[in-house]
Amino acid sequence: MKTEGRTTTPVAANMNSIQTVSGSKALDQATQLIFETGTPRRTGIDFPEPKGRPSRLGAHARQGEIGLPGLSEPETLRHYVRLSQKNYAIDLGVYPLGSCTMKHNPRLNEKIARMPGFADVHPLQPVSTAQGALEVMSVLSHWLMTLCNMPAVALTPKAGAHGELCGMMAIRARLDHDGASHKRRVLVPESAHGTNPATAVQCGFTVDEIPANQGGRVDMDVLRAKLAGQGKESDVAGIMLTNPNTCGLFESDIIEIAELIHAAGGYFYCDGANFNALVGRVRPGDLGVDAMHINLHKTFSTPHGGGGPGSGPTVLSEALKDHAPVPYVIKTDDGFDLVENPDEKSFGRMCAFHGNMGMYTRALSYMMSHGSDGLKQATEDAVLNANYVQASLSDVMTTAFEGTCMHEALFDDRFLKDTGVETLDFAKAMIDEGYHPMTMYFPLVVHGAMLIEPTESESKGELDRFILSMRSLAVRAKSGDVESFKQAPIYAPMRRLDETLAARKPVLRWTPPADVAEAAE
Amino acid sequence: MRYLPLNTNDRAQMLSVIGVDSIDDLFETVPKEARLEGLIDLPTHQTEQMVERFFQKLSNKSTPAGSVPFFCGAGAYKHHIPATVDHLIQRSEFLTAYTPYQPEISQGTLQTLFEFQTQVALLTGMDVANASMYDGSTACAEAVVMAHRVARGKKSKAILAPGLHPHYAAATQTLASTLSIKIDERECRMGRDDNVIDHIDDDTACVVVQSPNVFGEIVDLRPIAEKAHAHKALLIAVFTEPVALAAITPPGEQGADIVVGEGQGLGVGLAFGGPHVGLFACRQKLVRQMPGRVCGETVDANGDRGFVLTLSTREQHIRREKATSNICTNSGLCCLAFTIHMSLLGDAGIQRLATLNHENACHLADVLDGIEGVKVENETFFNEFTVRLSKPAADVVKSLADKGVIGGVPLSRLTPEGDPNLLLVCATETSSEEDIAAFETALKEVLS
């Protein structure tokens, strides 16, 4: 490049506060809402002319405009590409959200999910014309049942919480079938995901919380006391337990917990959100589990997509399998068939069709790519990465519990005591370092929780850089530099947002500015 | 393994930093009897090429809707999706982001959700919408649970209209089965939706009416809304085809209090039934009883407009057992697809799309009505309608498939008690004159 006569070094060192006329900041483009840029008459799709046939809508034809703005194709592309650039993503950097399992999403799986024999098949077309799709469901079921050592799986639940509903509905159906309808109390550890108590209540159970012990695990004395002396007459329907739990710890007493629950005539629901710490090394069926959902969008890498879709197939024990929901796939002499109508024992139907096929293909592709050896290695690497992070930070941050962890490392905010910096500030400062913050303030059993789940997808080099950033932030927090933490983030597309204002005066949709609305009237 | 960055060297170094001898030491908290030795009995790793070949073979064993004359609707609809939609939703920043918990680095997802909520509110004619449910059927079930909550346990009845999609009714039954609310389900029959009016009383928490209903008939919601409101009951309006709302008077203008439905028809493929996207809209005064995530507008520390997830005190991660629903993950990426498709269409585009759907369905109805042994049963319809056949519809559909035509959904597939001779058929903008002619020829042969 020709630089003759021109300066090649920046002149001003502190010009990052200038206001641009456009509102953009170089690559960070200002983006209005489509309602402010589009117009109802513009469209980005060409259609043939209608033939003018008489309408058969009767007296119900819509009158007037809907008010939906349209954009041409290039405008649409630009609008959403600009928006996309305001998002953090696993493809961009470390996304260590504990319990959420942000791992690599292989693009082979996207290609496979879009094959027309899966993507362009109607759920109600004749089963003879959907054999390939049904076979995928059958093979996926085999993999899930084998990895879990469980005799059945209900594929239809559409996300983890929907899987919880499936498992708890099956438990309720079994209890009712056995004439044990007095059993309506469900034990839930206080470290549980919020979905667990919400699900239990949605299924008509009451929730009885179990505290954690000093080691972050179920307090066995409390559990025994809750079940003592009543045998199967107890009103306990079961327990909902996450394993490894949300502190990243394996529930070492889990076999005894299952035995105690079974002795009380109850059933063991395992929240499988953290199954990625176990695949290939531990099978839930060997632990006495009666039902467990598997988040295909966590453990088996189907993309999170900014909040979904997910998929929550739920494995069921011998005791519960007859109560599974419809539909499900069976193998016949001619191939595969669907059972779509529930018998007396099935608790019914959870959703319109056969669950999230698009996630089945992706998850099975992921499993087959890894194979039994790769899946085990992935589990081990996930656990190794979490422990490496924990070991590398434990001298500058405070680990919540003694000893090694499983797939995620839990810190509390004791290391920030008296610094004026809170977990939230620490998280926002991570954004400026180029990282997505870890899960914060969850689980509720420790103060100012920071739950870090690096997953197996991070290289050692990437982890080392992450650790260096975290260490330097911890040191800076302790050095008394509160102000920079309170200001953070300063390099993100937006500064801290006022969430209180959003909740107090909810603006949940765009409405035309008052003067335009008046002019239109 | 191509997805795992660590090598043997890295692992050894990391174990030494942790201060353990082997990976097994990190699994010591697992009870001995539950520790697996060796590998699980499943195939070992495969190359990308091998996996792709496996799936290609299976894909070839199904008949894609786009490869044959195709007339299925009944809750999932074959539409053309612009290439732009699938390209944009595959951008890493959308595809591989989590739920937008950190708004400073999630404005892409959040602004899209705000646009989505606005589009859904406009299309349904309602005040507000949430950031999606799993699908239309679960949205319907959650709406009934919400109505129960609004009634604060003082009303015990939810009435489901006879034209409600049987799968929606079943999903609602399942979710409501554990509540103190009784589902009063009318037998799934044609032309009886108005009858629900006679069943609404002071004990009614809500009445659930689908329009266009599962038979394709467009239902006048106004008298039902009037009666419901007279008894302080909520009208929950349901739809399964979002494109229909561009052609008919929106439920919001007919007095609906909650509108739920399936959004798949815009931007989202058939995918053998999922993932789809549940739409959920309601009146402003009910917003704090609404399930699911909601995105709202606010400002940042510089005073610039931005968006955040809000009203989370309704949700499970804050309220736990007192939450309005247990839903956590929703249909985020499908919302994005819906929103992009809607942005491309705009008012002019979606109305044109609706007109083309309706015209093709009218043409199909005329053609089928002219065949001996076929009678169109609808007075009104949008893009799907019901025909009575002279033979059981399930057998006819099977024979049509053998002739390379996928000719609709027998009512008996949706509900075993359904009239066996009724067939639900659908035409969209993708149904060509040649497709309809092929259907005509095949159906004549099958019925003769």
**pLDDT tens track for A309-319:** 999 999 999 99
Residue A36 domain-assigned (yes or no): no
Tokens of B142: 């959650």
Q: Domain of A353: which CATH number?
A: 3.40.640.10
Residue A120 domain-assigned (yes or no): yes
* C-alpha closest to that of B345 among A71, A79, A78: A71
- Smallest Cβ–Cβ distance between A372 and the set B43, B246, B297 belongs to B43
Q: Is A43 on the interface with B (CB under 8 A)?
A: yes
- What pLDDT score was predicted for residue B313? 84
- With CA atoms as reference, the chain B residue closest to A456 would be B4
Residue A360 domain-assigned (yes or no): yes
- What pLDDT score was predicted for residue A6? 62
Residue A88 domain-assigned (yes or no): no
A residues 105-134 closer than 8 Å to B (CB): 105-106, 108, 110-126, 128-133
- What pLDDT score was predicted for residue B104? 98
Domains of chain B with CATH codes = 8-60 (no CATH), 65-79+347-447 (3.90.1150.10), 83-341 (3.40.640.10)
Q: Which residues of A touch B133 (CB under 8 A)?
A: none
Q: Which residues of B touch A401 (CB under 8 A)?
A: none
What number of other Cβ atoms are within 10 A of residue B201's Cβ? 12
The pLDDT tens digits for B322-356 are 888 888 889 999 999 999 999 999 999 999 999 99
Question: Mean pLDDT over residues A220-235, rounded?
Answer: 91
- What pLDDT score was predicted for residue A517? 54
Q: Considering chain B, what percentage of its residues have pLDDT values greater than 90? A: 92
Question: Mean pLDDT over residues B390-405, rounded?
Answer: 98
> Is residue A169 within 8 Å of A220, Cβ to Cβ?
no
As a three-state string, the secondary structure of A268-314 is EEEEHHHHHHCCCCCCHHHHCCCEEECCCCCCCCCCCCCCCCCCCCE
Q: Which residues of B touch A144 (CB under 8 A)?
A: none
- Smallest Cβ–Cβ distance between B97 and the set A80, A89, A442 belongs to A89
What number of other Cβ atoms are within 10 A of residue B39's Cβ? 13
What number of other Cβ atoms are within 10 A of residue A22's Cβ? 8
In angstroms, what is the C-alpha Rg of chain A? 27
- What pLDDT score was predicted for residue A515? 63
The pLDDT tens digits for A182-208 are 999 999 999 899 999 999 999 999 999
Please provide residue B320's backbone torsions phi and psi, each rounded to the nearest 5 degrees. Answer: 50, -120
Of residues B407 and A16, the one with the higher pLDDT is: B407
The pLDDT tens digits for A427-459 are 999 999 999 999 999 999 999 999 999 999 999
Confidence of residue A10 (pLDDT cuts 50, 70, 90): low
Burial of B299 (0-12, 13-18, 19+ CB in 10 A): middle
Confidence of residue A388 (pLDDT cuts 50, 70, 90): very high
* C-alpha closest to that of A463 among A473, A472, A476, A454: A454
Q: Is A495 on the interface with B (CB under 8 A)?
A: yes
- What pLDDT score was predicted for residue B388? 98
- What pLDDT score was predicted for residue A157? 98
Q: How far is A361 from chain B (nearest CA, A)?
A: 8
The pLDDT tens digits for B179-198 are 888 998 888 888 888 889 99
Q: How far is A170 from chain B (nearest CA, A)?
A: 11
Residue A149 domain-assigned (yes or no): yes
* Number of domains, chain A: 1
- Smallest Cβ–Cβ distance between B136 and the set A63, A252, A352 belongs to A352
Question: Mean pLDDT over residues A465-471, rounded?
Answer: 98
Residue A400 domain-assigned (yes or no): no
The DSSP bridge pattern shows strands B182-185 and A206-210 to be unpaired
- With CA atoms as reference, the chain B residue closest to A81 would be B88
Confidence of residue A518 (pLDDT cuts 50, 70, 90): low
- With CA atoms as reference, the chain B residue closest to A41 would be B348
d(CA A357, CA A350): 15
Q: Is the pLDDT of residue B67 over 80?
A: yes
Q: Is A74 on the interface with B (CB under 8 A)?
A: no
Tokens of B196: 């629900």
Q: Is B314 helix (H, G, I), strand (E, B) or coil?
A: helix
d(CA A44, CA A433): 39
Q: Average model confidence (pLDDT) for chain A?
A: 94
- Smallest Cβ–Cβ distance between A503 and the set B52, B310, B347 belongs to B310
Q: Is the pLDDT of residue A521 over 50?
A: no
DSSP-assigned letters across all residues of B357-418: HHHHHHHHHHHHHTSTTEEE--SS-SSEEEEEESS-HHHHHHHHHHTT-B--EEHHHH-TTS
Instruction: Verify whether the Cβ–Cβ distance B325 to A202 is below 8 Å.
Output: yes
Instruction: Verify whether the Cβ–Cβ distance B19 to A355 is below 8 Å.
Output: no
Q: Is A32 on the interface with B (CB under 8 A)?
A: no
Q: Is A420 on the interface with B (CB under 8 A)?
A: no
The pLDDT tens digits for B92-136 are 999 999 999 999 999 999 999 999 999 999 999 999 999 999 999
Residue A451 domain-assigned (yes or no): no
d(CA A297, CA A97): 14
Of residues A468 and A518, the one with the higher pLDDT is: A468
- Smallest Cβ–Cβ distance between B331 and the set A198, A308, A325 belongs to A308
Question: Mean pLDDT over residues B46-66, rounded?
Answer: 98
DSSP-assigned letters across all residues of B59-113: HHTB--GGGS-B---TT-------HHHHHHHTSHHHHT--S--SGGGBHHHHHHH
d(CA B18, CA B8): 15
Looking at residue B276, the DSSP 8-state letter turns out to be: -
d(CA A219, CA B420): 58
Burial of A12 (0-12, 13-18, 19+ CB in 10 A): exposed
Q: Is the pLDDT of residue B404 over 90?
A: yes
Q: Which domain holds residue A316?
A: 110-368
- What pLDDT score was predicted for residue A383? 98
Burial of B325 (0-12, 13-18, 19+ CB in 10 A): buried
Tokens of B175: 């979710």
- What pLDDT score was predicted for residue A76? 97
